[in-house]
Amino acid sequence: MTIGDELLIGQVVDTNSAFIAQELQKIGIEVVQITSISDQLPDILSALEAAQSRAAIVITTGGLGPTKDDVTKEAFCRYFDTELVEHQPWLEHVKHLFAKYISTPINAMNYTQAMLPATAELLANPYGTAAGMWMENTKGVVVAMPGVPFEMKSMLQDELIPRLVSRFKRPFISHKTIVTYGLGESAVAELIQDWEASLPPELKLAYLPNLGKVRLRISGSHTDQLVLNDLMDRALKGLYPLIEHLSFSAEHDRPVEALIADKLTQINGSLALAESFTGGALAAKFTQMPGASKYFMGSAVVYASSAKTSVLGVPPSDLDSYSSVSAQVAEAMVLGAQKTFGAQYAIATTGNAGPSIADSPEEVGVVYLAIATPERVWVERHEMGNHRERIVEKSINKALTLLYAELLKL
């Protein structure tokens, strides 16, 4: 349950629920529903009641701040028939945080962060002033965590997961995801339909199509881990030969940029980028992952035509003759990136992401993707549709796939 008016007016996307669900999965706890509700006391109370009728564990985030609009603590007191009392060690923690990290002096509102439900077991929060709360009744456990994602994440992993593991007996759960590239959902489904029909009832298959990729997820749950492993192994052995030609990552649902990162780190390789319409988003795929400095040299985000020349040495005559959206310019960009950054491998992107067409005769959605390796360089032209976000995301997926296919040949 995520609590906060900002979710219901769409001001904030709920990323907490997916993170929590992933972590619960790992310890065999199944999520049956995710609910986002307002900061109104009656809504919280009725949602708590409904949630407890569905599940033995209810986890909430949000509404634990010091300001008046946050009422989760009050709701928990009402729901569990208890009251707020000052919690001395938590008060010390709040004072400590202010002394160490915050430039403004502590005020009366901050002190209220140490007023906590008398019957709650507290969950520590090293990064903030909001305490987590673990409370129980005859129906099960109800937990409150702060809504700020990094505070919630640390509390979940260090405080809540260990308590759940020791408190609840859980079945074994297993998921395997295989990422396929190049075919649509229904074409993949047709390819594996006989296999799908022969799956045992303990296993379930789902298709997750997304911009040029289709992920196949097989999920199983069983009280006996050996039986579950055996069912899963047999299913996978039947599946692999059918989709081998479409798939890179058989074992894990890891994004292709992570697979590239592993491979480059392993071979001590280096990578540089030259980005026009992807505008830094391709670079961010790599730099978001810790350890990128082992192989990632950098990216020349050359949005303006003049930058293509000044940073990457693209000949102005190529820009004039072929326009910035052309195979010639893509090739000059990728070679420029390889040289400027001194990298073994390089990717370049140039295209029209729209909505308007800049200085090129090509239509919106036309992109050129260039790959350079120590041995060769080549360019592909693709039409990625007419939707800006989709053009960028599909092009990034395609470019990464091209590079990874090349790295796999090593």
CB 123 within 8 A of CB 116: no
Task: Select from 137, 225, 265, 287 the one that contacts a second copy (CB under 8 A).
Answer: 287
User: Measuring CA to CA, how many Å separate 332 from each of 111, 324, 347, 382?
Assistant: 61, 11, 11, 18
Of 72-80, 99-107, 231-239, 373-381, the segment contacting a second copy by CB under 8 A is 99-107
Task: Select from 85, 170, 172, 219 the one that contacts a second copy (CB under 8 A).
Answer: 219
Chain residues 223-252 in contact with a second copy, contact rule CB under 8 A: none
Residues recorded for the chain: 410
Q: Does 253 bind a second copy (CB under 8 A)?
A: yes
Q: Does 41 bind a second copy (CB under 8 A)?
A: no
Crossing angle of the two packed helices 256-266 and 388-408, in degrees rounded to 10: 30
| Type of residue found at 373 | T
Tokens 């007191």 found at: 77
Chain residues 152-171 in contact with a second copy, contact rule CB under 8 A: none
Q: Least distance to a second copy from the beta carbon of 119, Å? A: 26
| Type of residue found at 52 | Q
β-partners of residue 203 are: 220
Q: Does 311 bind a second copy (CB under 8 A)?
A: yes
Q: Parallel, antiparallel, or unpaired for β 57-61 and 84-86?
A: unpaired
Q: Least distance to a second copy from the beta carbon of 223, Å? A: 19
Supply φ then ψ for residue 349, to 5 degrees: -130, 135
Please, which residue, 134 or 296, has the CB nearer to a second copy?
296
Of 84-92, 159-167, 283-291, 373-381, the segment contacting a second copy by CB under 8 A is 283-291
Task: Select from 86, 190, 244, 363 the one that contacts a second copy (CB under 8 A).
Answer: 190
Residue 370, H or E segment: strand 366-372
Q: Least distance to a second copy from the beta carbon of 75, Å? A: 15
Task: Select from 56, 99, 165, 208 the one that contacts a second copy (CB under 8 A).
Answer: 208
Q: Least distance to a second copy from the beta carbon of 272, Å? A: 8
Residues 6+ apart with CB under 8 A from 55: 32, 33, 140
Please, which residue, 118 or 363, has the CB nearer to a second copy?
363
Q: Does 130 bind a second copy (CB under 8 A)?
A: no
Nearest to residue 340, comparing CAs of 350, 348, 349, 328? 348
